Structures are given as C-alpha cells and as structure tokens.
A and B are shown apart, each in its own frame.
Chain A
Amino acid sequence: MENTTLQDHSEGNSDQHNSSHHQPAKGIMRWILTTNHKDIGTLYLCFSFLMFLVGGAMAMVIRAELYQPGLQIVEPNFFNQMTTVHGLIMVFGAVMPAFTGLANWLIPMMIGAPDMALPRMNNWSFWILPMAFTILLSSLFMEGGGPNFGWTFYAPLSTTYSPDSTALFVFAIHIMGISSILGAINVVVTIINMRAPGMTYMKMPLFVWTWLITAFLLIAVMPVLAATVTMVLTDKYFGTSFFAAAGGGDPVLFQHIFWFFGHPEVYIMILPSFGIISAIIPAFSRKKLFGYSSMVYATASIAVLSFTVWAHHMFTTGMPVAAELFFMYCTMLISVPTGVKVFNWVATMWRGSLTFETPMLFAIAFIVLFTIGGFSGLMLAITPADFQYHDTYFVVAHFHYVLVTGAIFSIMAAAYYWLPKWTGHMYDERLGKIHFWCSLISVNVLFFPMHFLGLAGMPRRVPDYALQFADFNQLVSLGGFAFGLSQLIFLVVLVKCVRGGDKAPAKPWEGAEGLEWDMPSPAPYHSHTTPPEIK
C-alpha cells in the first residue's frame, strides 16, 4: 500500500467490497466525471500548463514582431489581439487555474479533510474552464478578429471600437468568473468546515491561510468583474450608455469599476504564492517559519488594503490632488505588510542549514525578483513620477516581475516541491536545475531592460517603435525566446517525472512539515478518510 502507484492502488482495491465510485474509473471518463480533489487538481494543473504554453506562444509572436522596429511579421490589429489574449490567458488561464489546482490537491491533505467540501461543484468549476477558453480562442478566428482592446478592455475601446466578436469575449469572461467563484466557494467551505479536529486556524499551514484570504477576495471582486463585462455587453449591443458620453455615461467610470476588481485581482494572483514560499523556505532551511502569526496578519492586511488602492492605475485621468495623495499613501502602505513577509522569509533562512534543491532555488529567486517588482511598484505609486511611467514599458517590466518571477516562479517551485507527492517519483534534479538557471537568466534578460525602455519613453502595446529603442528590444526579444524555450525543459521534467523515476519516499524533503508528508507517495486516491491526529 505504501509505495503503490495510482493504478496499483485502484487494482488493489477492486477485489474489495468498496462500491465502484470509490475507485478511479478507467479512461477518459475518469477525468470527465471525477469528483476527486486530486484528479481535479491534476486537471487544473495540466490545463493551466497548456494555457501557459498557448499564452507563451502569443508572447513569442509579440516579441518576434518587436525584434526590430517597423512592421515585419503581423498586422497591428493582430498584434493587438496577441497582447490582449496573451494577458487574458496568462491571468485567467494560467496563473489562476494553477493556484486553484494547487488548492485542490493540497488543501484537503493539509487540513486533514477527505476531499473538498463540494466535490460535484468542483467538477463543474473545472470543466467550464476549457469551454470558456475555447470560446475566447475561437473569437480570434471570427471575421474582424478577436479582442484587441488590451486585457483591461477599457471603454470605449471595448464598446464603440471593438470587433464584432466582443460578445464572445464577454461570455468567456463570464464563464471564467463563474469558475473562479465556484472554486472560491469550495475553498472557503472546505477550510472553514472540513478541518480535522484540533486543526485550529492558527495551526493551518500558510498556504491554506493565504488561499482562504484569496478565496474571500475572489468572492468579493469576481462579481464586480462580471458586472463590468455585462455593462460592456449592453453598451455595445443593447444601446445602454454606462460608458458612452453621448448617452450621459462616462468612460472613466469604466476604469473605476474595472480597477476596483483589478487591484484585488493582482493580490489574488500573488497571495497563494506567499503561502507556497512560506512552505518551501522553512523546508530547505530546516527551521520553523519565522513569524508565523505575523505572516497571517500581513496577508490579511494586504487583502484589506487592496480595496483602497485601485485608482493608482488612473493617476493620469485627472483626479484632485487629495485623491491622488490618498491612493499614493495607501499603495505605499501595502509595502509594509509585504516587507514583513520578505523579512520573515529571509529571517527563516538566517542561520538555517540551507540546501539548494530546485524548489528552493525557485523560492529564493522568487524572493529576490518579486522584491524588485515590488520596488518598481513603489516607484509607480509615486504620483508625480507615475505621470512619466504611465503606459510605458516600465509598467510592463513591473508587472512581469511580480507575475512571472513572482506568481509563476512560485507555481514552478510548488510543482517541484510537491511533484514527488503527486506522482510518487522524484523528478530529475539535474534537469530541474538546468530549467531553473535557464529560466532565471533568460527572464532577467527578458524583463530587466524593459525598465530602461520605459524610462526612456517607449510606450506599451505598440507593434512598432522609434529607432533608438531597437537595441534593447532585440535583447528583450532574445531573452523572451530563451525563456520560452526554457519552459520546454520544464515540460520534459514533468513528463519524465509522471512516467517514472526514482521512487519517492513519503517525505522526500528532510525539513518539510505538514500532514501531506505523513501519507505515502504518491498520495493515495482517498486520503484522511479518518481524520488525522493533530499535534
């Protein structure tokens, strides 16, 4: 039982008296009908990796076009569709589903629950996602093209001037939103009601804590996004004037509603990362996490503050000085709890006996590079300075540092860290390290020069640019291609690890803590069927 694979396990159980729905079904129907949190977690993770590659391919188109000034490869309108859909896919298709997948796999195992609280809804919340992205991607092939107004779909670009396929975009966003909301409900109910006896809130692993707070953020703001796209839909097709000045509406209103959703959304994409890093750093430092409770409070205060900063995306729309100062100070205030977190991670490593396996490498890179992204965020928060940085490549550099070397690096760290638990095999450490170093170097070649491009005045979302930006753009594009190729190494590592490799012990990492390491690797199809004992 201890060292069996998933298949062995199901065979071993088949002679027993368990009714059939307790074993994974065979073939494709297992995945379509599954209500098992581990299966659904796997589905989410595979789907998000697929979307990561699709969105990445679009980024390659963007960087290929920007390799030289002038128009070489694509039409400007197609370029705009690429920037738009790249953003949408990476946000809603890659990062968010990856976190939901991790939540599905890990939260029940971490809190001692047998499964998620609402397994059938869980199945739905995953399976509507592929439909949403099929709709979104199909809109690229419609007459007039797909969405070309940026992932932020500012009105009137998304209303008056948008392609005819905008309705498909709107419905795709609706479905993604419903999926996220269902996932969030499931996480909240699971964490609040399904913890094993003795698993008090302040004993929960930080990944569970950060996800609980993320789920509340999702419940608060995904409906606002749904409202926004609904208004865009009725403005475009049904003659309402929420954002049309001719009918008494206001396009600036769009930005307020969108960013009321958009800024908490930024934290939705980073808070679970904080939880992951807070699991990995102590494991490879062989020390307890420094300042557990301050981590919890810092996460909660980041979440609360995230509702008071939305207009820092809109400094140049013309606000009174008082409002600009308010949003500037609130934004800067967020760096305090974030600083607490970075301090705690570094303090955890301090005088620890560190080893540098791939998950740890990604975690350390996360701390350094996410902090760089945080600092450029502070620069952008300074209202008078923002007037220069607004809508330049400086902004692009900033949010790619926090999302790629932040969110995505943490997801990769998580994948390496828990892969032995998921598959029962150790991944190829040598390949993992190659993947890490290739990614680390290329991602900085890709995004660091963007800071200078932005400061020099190169606007974002342009298919062509002035000649003086040519050299840096070439460098950025080369970094981009290298980063894209590096991710194929990750694909190889994943496939190799799923298909075989050294047998993983129950606890492959010496310093790892948590209930998931008490069960065999791979984790049995049903775990914690009797609640574990919490020390």
Chain B
Amino acid sequence: MSQLLQQKNQRLIVKLSTAIVLMFGFGFALVPLYDVFCQVTGLNGRSIVKASEQSMTIDTTRTVRLQLMTSVAPGMSWEFTPEVNYIDVHPGENKVVQFKARNLSNRLIVGQAVPSVSPGLGANYLNKTECFCFKQQQLNAGEQTTMGLVFFISGDIPKDINTLTLSYTLFDVTEQKTDSADTEHMDSEHMDSEHMDSEHMDSAHTGSGHAGSVHAGI
C-alpha cells in the first residue's frame, strides 16, 4: 500500500471516528434535549414541577373536570389515594385537593410522587401553586398523612379540553434519598411540611369531601 494511500486512509478514519464519537455523545445529548423539548411544549404529560404564580381572573362560563388518579410503584407498601376522584373547577379558580398516604410497612420509607397529566397537551394549563410532589415525603412505620395540592387551571386552556386527568405515581426513594427535591425553586414557607399538613387538615374538614375554598389562606 502506497504511502499516499495510507495517509488518505488515516485521515478518513480519523474523520469517521470523530463522527462515531459525536454520535455516541448525541445519544446522551438526546436526554436533556428531550427534557427541554417536553418542558417547552408540555408534551408527554409532563406537568410543570415548580410552583406557579397565582392567577387573577376566574372564567365562570366554563367548567373543567380534573380527574385524580394515584398509583404506587410495585414493591412499595404504601397506601396512596386521593380523597375525591374528581373535582370540577372554573379556569382561573384556585382549588385544594387532598391525598392520603399511609406507610403500611414496618420501616421508614421516603416517597417521591411523580405527576403526569393526560391529555399531554393539557399539561401546561394545569398549574400547581403548592404540591406535595415538589418534595419527598417521609413516613415512619404505620404513619399516616394527608398531603395537599393547590392548583388552578389557566384561563387560556383550549376549548376542546374539558377533562384533565392528573395521575400521581409514588416511588420508593428511601435508598437514593437525596436533597434534589430541595433544589426546586420554591418559597421556603412552602417547603415547611408541617405548615402544609396542618393547613390541609383544616381544609379537609371545611371542604367536606369537595376540598373547599380555603385557598385564600395560602
């Protein structure tokens, strides 16, 4: 093989190898790209995971039904249920719903709830001003708690979306318990779980199953 050909071959090999390394990197780059893409477009039912600003105007001409679903990751012995199966709200109106969680096991378990909204295109119109899913939940053996979600639905939600389904899946993160939840941009007062819990206890009573209108107090 001539010297010249060998040099040509080597240059081409270097170029092709660079392409291969870049494509390997591209495979991993798809992960953040996908996150950004979903965040911007609200695709895939990924709802916003940080607290939203409260809304101003209430559109009483429309009613949107929010269905609530919960599931617990396999192998995690928690009971996790919404107090109501659905709630009807006007766009712009603040509402509180409660979820009950109970640790059925005999050890401390830390849980992380991951929300998903269906239809995916409606995800960006469901705004949470306060949510237990913003942070991890820690329950001792047999302990029980009520966790609250404060939300409103944007006034500009498309006319053809009349029902949103909000589904929470609770995962066991005891082993990889990190402080990552704390890095979410939140007001410190919202982080205070005792504060949240007590307030939600109140609202659960006053709301009598329909998680009433105590949002003014938050």
Contact = CB atoms under 8 A, between A and B. Distances in A.
A in complex with B: yes
A189 B16 contact: yes
Contact of A223 (B8, B20, B44, B120): B20
Nearest to A220: B23
Given A247-B176, A253-B31, A318-B119, A227 B19 contact: no
A487 B22 CA distance: 41
A115 to B, nearest CB: 9
B114 interface: yes
Contacts of A222: 20, 23
Given A245-B114, A253-B30, A223 B21 contact: yes
Contacts of A117: 9
What is the interface residue range for chain B against chain A? 35 or more
A181 B17 CA distance: 9
B44 A245 contact: no
A257 B173 CA distance: 26
A435 B215 CA distance: 77
A244 B114 CA distance: 10
A260 B9 contact: no
A228 interface: yes
Contact of B27 (A181, A224, A245): A224
A219 interface: yes
A131 interface: no
A245 B34 CA distance: 14
B196 to A, nearest CB: 22
Interface in B1-43: 5, 8-9, 12-13, 16-17, 19-28, 30-31, 34-35, 38, 41, 43
A193 interface: yes
Interface in B76-120: 112, 114, 116, 118-120
Interface in A5-51: none
A228 B120 CA distance: 25
A16 B196 CA distance: 93
B5 A253 contact: no
B30 A219 contact: no
A219 B43 contact: no
B8 to A, nearest CB: 5
A256 interface: yes
A185 B17 contact: yes
A118 interface: yes
Given A220-B23, A247-B176, A242 B31 contact: yes
Nearest to B121: A320
B171 interface: yes
Nearest to A184: B16
A196 interface: no
B21 A193 contact: no
A278 B24 CA distance: 33
A250 B5 contact: no
Contacts of A181: 20
Contacts of A231: 27-28, 31
Contacts of B119: 318
A245 B114 CA distance: 7
Contacts of A219: 16, 19-20, 23
Nearest to B75: A160
Contacts of B145: none
B46 interface: yes
Contact of B34 (A185, A247, A253): A253
B12 A192 contact: yes
B27 A227 contact: yes
A226 interface: yes
B23 A223 contact: yes
A229 to B, nearest CB: 10
A201 B183 CA distance: 57
Given A247-B176, A320-B120, A189 B9 contact: yes
A412 interface: no
B141 interface: no
A118 B118 contact: no
A219 B27 CA distance: 13
A318 B23 contact: no
Contacts of A220: 19, 23
Contacts of A319: 43, 120
B3 to A, nearest CB: 13
A504 interface: no
A244 B73 CA distance: 11
B54 interface: no
A185 B43 CA distance: 38
A318 B173 contact: no
A188 interface: yes
Interface in B174-218: 176, 180
Contacts of A317: 44
A354 B17 CA distance: 45
Interface in A223-257: 223-228, 231, 239, 242, 244-248, 250, 252-253, 256-257
Contact of A221 (B23, B31, B116, B120): B23
Contacts of A118: 9, 13
Nearest to A181: B20
B148 interface: no
A227 B12 contact: no
B110 to A, nearest CB: 11
Interface in A317-365: 317-320, 323
A132 to B, nearest CB: 18
Given A223-B24, A257-B31, 8 more contacts: A220-B19, A224-B30, A227-B26, A246-B172, A248-B114, A253-B31, A318-B118, A320-B120
24 contacts: A189-B9, A193-B9, A219-B20, A219-B23, A223-B23, A224-B23, A224-B24, A224-B26, A224-B27, A227-B27, A228-B27, A231-B27, A242-B31, A245-B116, A245-B171, A247-B176, A248-B180, A250-B34, A250-B38, A250-B44, A256-B34, A257-B31, A318-B118, A320-B41
- Please list the 6 inter-chain residue pairs (A to B) with the smallest Cβ-Cβ separation, ordered nearest first: A227-B27, A246-B171, A223-B24, A223-B23, A224-B27, A245-B114
